[in-house]
Structure 1
Amino acid sequence: MSQPLGVTPEGLRSTSDHLNDVSSRMKGVLSSLQSKLSGEGAAWGDDKIGDQFANGDSGYLGQLDWVDGSIDAKTGLLDNYSEGLRTAADTLEGQDQA
């Protein structure tokens, strides 16, 4: 026989905290990466090959923007899920007390 499904405010808050922690760590890694990359300067020269490296199809700058945008989007989702779970925990707890 299968186990019954159960949700508790504490479980929801624990998961919310975990998602928030993952989001914070991802933001920290991105910030560290951005800081280190900006400290290095351009990774290409001013010639044609350098321009192709930086701006060509799947070039460095486009990929850099893609990574930044992807991490921003994922951390935004994690933050949204975390907030939703915390709100659900508060609502569930309020219904139990009513």
Structure 2
Amino acid sequence: MARIYIAEIRISDTMAEKIQSKHGVTPAEVREACQAPSRYTKAGWSDEPERGLRLIVHGESEAGRYLKIVLFPVDIADGIYRLGTALAATR
């Protein structure tokens, strides 16, 4: 199965504040876990009527912290996504 291309993750100031205050996750950790192909262990699509199409990514930050990250597609072909949320997860 081909890896999903993630070139850019757009994180608003509001979302950065939310993930840091609520989940203790930094935008840098999100990017580390998703954008380096060797870091994410799995990624898959979820399409729910109330939330729409989302990419669920599980990966590790450079410090070895395992994260679950939800991304909304902006431009799939160019690998551009918008952060929906990010939190620490267990394997």
Sort the TM-score into its range (normalised by shorter chain).
under 0.3
**TM-score, length basis structure 2:** 0.22
Flag the structure with higher helix content: 1
**TM-score, length basis structure 1:** 0.21
Higher RCO, Cα 8 Å, sep 6+: 1
Flag the structure with higher strand content: 2
Query: Rg: which structure is higher?
Result: 1
